[in-house]
Structure 1
Amino acid sequence: MTMHVNKVHHVTTITRVAEDLGEDEDWLSDVASEMEIEDGVIWVYSVGEDGVQAFTDFGIENLIELIRMYKENPEWLKHWQSE
């Protein structure tokens, strides 16, 4: 019998990632909205909160790649938002 063991021991909130990368949090949230759990993004909930987006280290790496892509092609995000 094999059992899945979660090896993620920490996540970083989008607010912290935005600050660390020098990016606008709202813009970063738009970029990250296409990410899936397999990409290293999760939602963290607490009492009285709507939840906050957070990233594993792998998720931050994926997010940095998306940032690069959207900065090279800013029309992609505008097109995606209008759909």
Structure 2
Amino acid sequence: MTTHVNKVHHVTTITQVAKDLGEDEDWLRDISLEMEIEDGAIWVYGVGEDGVKAFTAFGTDNLIELIRFYKDNPGLLKR
């Protein structure tokens, strides 16, 4: 029998990622909508909270690729 072992030891909230990358948090939220758990995006829930989007290290790397893509193609994301 094989047991899956989760190797994620931390996640970073979208607020912190936006601060670290110097990007607008709302814009990051918009472009991260297409990310799935397989891409390293998850929701974190706490007591009395609606939840916050967070990223694994792999997810942050994927988000950076999306940032590059949408900055190169700004007409693809309508706000």
- TM-score interval (norm. to shorter): over 0.9
Q: Which amino acid aligns with 2:33?
A: S
Show the counterpart of 1:76.
Answer: 76
Distance 2:29 2:44 in 1: 14
Normalised TM-score (structure 2): 0.98
**Residue ranges of structure 1 left out of the alignment (5+ in a row):** none
1:59 aligns with 2:59: yes
SS of residue in 2 equivalent to 1:50: coil
- Measured after TM superposition, the shift of residue 21 of structure 1 is 0.2
Show the counterpart of 2:44.
Answer: 44
* 1:21-52 alpha-carbon deviations (Å, 9 max, x no partner): 00000000001010000000000000110000
Aligned length: 79
Show the counterpart of 1:19.
Answer: 19
Q: Which amino acid aligns with 1:45?
A: Y
Q: Which amino acid aligns with 1:41?
A: A
Question: Following TM superposition, where does structure 1 have runs of at least 4 consecutive aligned residues deviating by more than 3 angstroms?
Answer: none
Normalised TM-score (structure 1): 0.93
- Measured after TM superposition, the shift of residue 61 of structure 1 is 0.3
**Residue ranges of structure 2 left out of the alignment (5+ in a row):** none
- Measured after TM superposition, the shift of residue 13 of structure 1 is 0.2
Q: Which amino acid aligns with 1:68?
A: R
SS of residue in 1 equivalent to 2:34: coil
Q: How does 1:22-37 map to 2 (within 5 A)?
A: 22-37=22-37
